[in-house]
Amino acid sequence: MVDVGAGYTGKQLRVNLKKRKAKIEKINPAVLRKYLGGSGYSARILYDELKKGVDPLSPANKLVFTTGPLTLNRIPGGGSIMLSFKSPLTNAWGESRCGGDFGPDLKKAGFDAVIVEDRSNEPVYLVINDGVAEFKPASHLLGKTTSVKNKTIREELKEPKISIMCIGPAGEKLVKVATVMFEQRAAGRCGVGAVMGSKNLIGIAVKGTGDAGTAKPDKLKEALKEANTILRGSEMAAGFKEHGTTGDMAPNDAAGDWPTKNWQSNSWGKAEKLYDQFFNTYLVKNHGCYTGCPIACGRIAEVKTGKYKTPEHEGSEYESISAFTAFVMNENIEAAIHATYLCNEYGIDTISAGSIIAFAMECFENNIITKQDTSGLDLTWGKSEVLAELVRMISLREGIGDVLADGVKAASKKLGKGSEKFAVHGKGLEAPAHDPRSGKNLAVTYGTANRGCCHIHPLEAMAFDSGKLDWGMVNFGAPDPNTVDRWDEKGKGALVKLLQDGLVVPDVVGICKFYMYADLHLSHYAKMLSAITGWDIDGHELMNIGERAINLQRLFNVREGISREDDQIHERMKKKPDFGFYKDEDRCVIKDFDAMLDEYYDARGWDKKTGRPTKEKLSELGL
């Protein structure tokens, strides 16, 4: 058995909410060496410990918080915590990353992971302080927004700087698109807030003074010096700092990568105007989600007056603003900013919320939903004044919001009348603000991502096709993106497999993926990892570990009944846009998605009929 490397505490906290007990366990060093951490290690836990078919909102589901060996404030991008669970939205593998100080502080508190089990009979929050866990009553917090919960917990603990992750009213109501919030950063996807709410766990507060250590401090100093030199010279890093992710709105609109009117088009032509309004009038400053972040891409925004008056807050990011503008044809940027703020306060996923509202608007247009169903709300496209009210209704399960709160897949089943044509999702997860008609890599990504329709597994794959970014993956067999036609379908299946293996690594080691855009690649993180742990790891081994994590998550899904049939994408994603810049562009059309899937399965070593990993592949990966 290998030793636990430095950079790890070697301990995890197993929390049984029903018994109100927290037990410290040692982590098998060989398992850490094989999976490293993050969504790799949590996949091992959930695959081993959950039974097939468990109800995601039952006490039998588990919620796993994991750090990685690079979840450290001094590492560029090192402020990450990964939450893993069986998703109530997809009934399959669920994971959601959150940036901030919670992950580094959990490690300082003495733990690489926290495993939350069962259900408390009464609402509680958990406090972890330098290896000691304590349960606190939380009934008085019910119904409060996330910012009020944070403020109250800090006041009760007399700890003004303690890191807290909590759910909002939506999590309490078991809204299946509910989030877990750290400040105004979200673990947003797959309904993790509903899982936490189902356990009567309102929040977790962590504080610590420990240090997991560094095996080779001089080598780490060299690696960090190299990384920081790269960041200082990176145009992408500078762009993130000045414009954040929201700055991508105009170029993505132009590239046909901006889903509009519930995916009826991939462009709108209004992004540049909307972004200019945001940048020049409502942006206050940039902000880093964790202490010491050198990019600080977060946006602090404010609407000072009017009916959409909104206090200074963080959260007006690309996905959020896109969901409340292009998705729903809303041209009022103030309404969009206000809606994203309310999503954070109530604790619901901005991507899913915007998608659900777009779905509802199209149902309204087709008389599947009427004013009688909406308590008089007019859900005509572009009606900015209904956005805030729909966010509230979904979050509190009021009226039509109760139907919509389970996501578009479930809502379309309840509504019927052909509404499934308007329910754009993958495996049950609402689709984000990137369009596979802009680059065919993204189509395969959406179909095969383990957590559902996901744009960051691997990253925004269209950025390879049309943005010509390679994230250093040419060193591991990817072609030069400048030689790849974004419209081509041949070769994209095999390419996505390669990109997924490498670009899942940030989720495993505990870093923010945006730093890979800023020219920090697997080789740089392998140097940091080797220096911290004392292990000899290179980029090729990281690729292998990434492939192992993806295959184990797939095995979890296969056990839950996921097959090739579930790797399909919505028909709207394959068709020529109804309007916009690309309405006459035949190359947008995805002609043979199944051929791309075949190519992907061949590259993965999975059975093409079922989508199951083969015994030979599992043996190769040590599974």
Q: How far apart are CA 587 and CA 585, in angstroms?
A: 5
Quick check: do 11-207 and 436-620 share a fold?
no
How many angstroms separate the Cα of 50 from the Cα of each of 56, 86, 370?
10, 9, 42
Secondary structure of residue 55 in the 3-state scheme: coil
CATH code for the part of the protein at 246-430: 1.10.569.10
CB burial of residue 139 (10 Å; 0-12, 13-18, 19+): exposed
Looking at residue 2, what is its pLDDT?
Answer: 60
Let me know if domain 11-207 sits in CATH 1.10.530.10: no
Summarised one tens digit per residue, pLDDT across range 540-551 is: 999 999 999 999
Which residues is 66 bridged to in the sheet?
82, 113
Structure confidence at residue 1 (pLDDT): 41
Those residues of the chain that have pLDDT short of 50 are: 1
Domain ranges of the chain: 11-207, 246-430, 436-620
The predicted structure's pLDDT at residue 459? 86
Measured CA to CA, the distance from residue 44 to residue 66 in angstroms comes to 12
Residue with the two structure tokens 């189902």: 198
pLDDT attached to residue 104? 97
Query: Given this model, what pLDDT does residue 297 score?
Result: 94
What is the spatial distance between Cα 340 and Cα 343, in angstroms, rounded to a whole number? Answer: 5
Q: What is the DSSP code string of 225-271?
A: HHHHHHHHT-HHHHHHHHHTGGGGHHHHHHHT---BTTTTBS--S-H
Considering the chain, what is the average pLDDT of its residues? 97
Neighbouring residues of 280: CB distance < 8 A, sequence distance ≥ 6: none
Instruction: In whole angstroms, give the CA distance from residue 314 to residue 321.
Output: 12
Q: Which CATH number fits the domain 436-620, given the four candidates 3.40.50.700, 1.20.120.330, 1.10.599.10, 3.80.10.10?
A: 1.10.599.10
Q: Return the number of other C-beta atoms located less than 10 Å from residue 305's C-beta.
A: 7
Residue 339's nearest CA partner among 399, 384, 298 is 384
Q: What is the side-by-side order of every strand in the sheet holding 124-129?
A: 132-137, 124-129, 201-207, 163-166, 180-182, 185-187
Question: What pLDDT is attached to residue 585?
Answer: 97
pLDDT at residue 4, rounded to an integer: 79
For residues 349 and 88, give the distance between their C-alpha atoms in angstroms, rounded to a whole number. 14
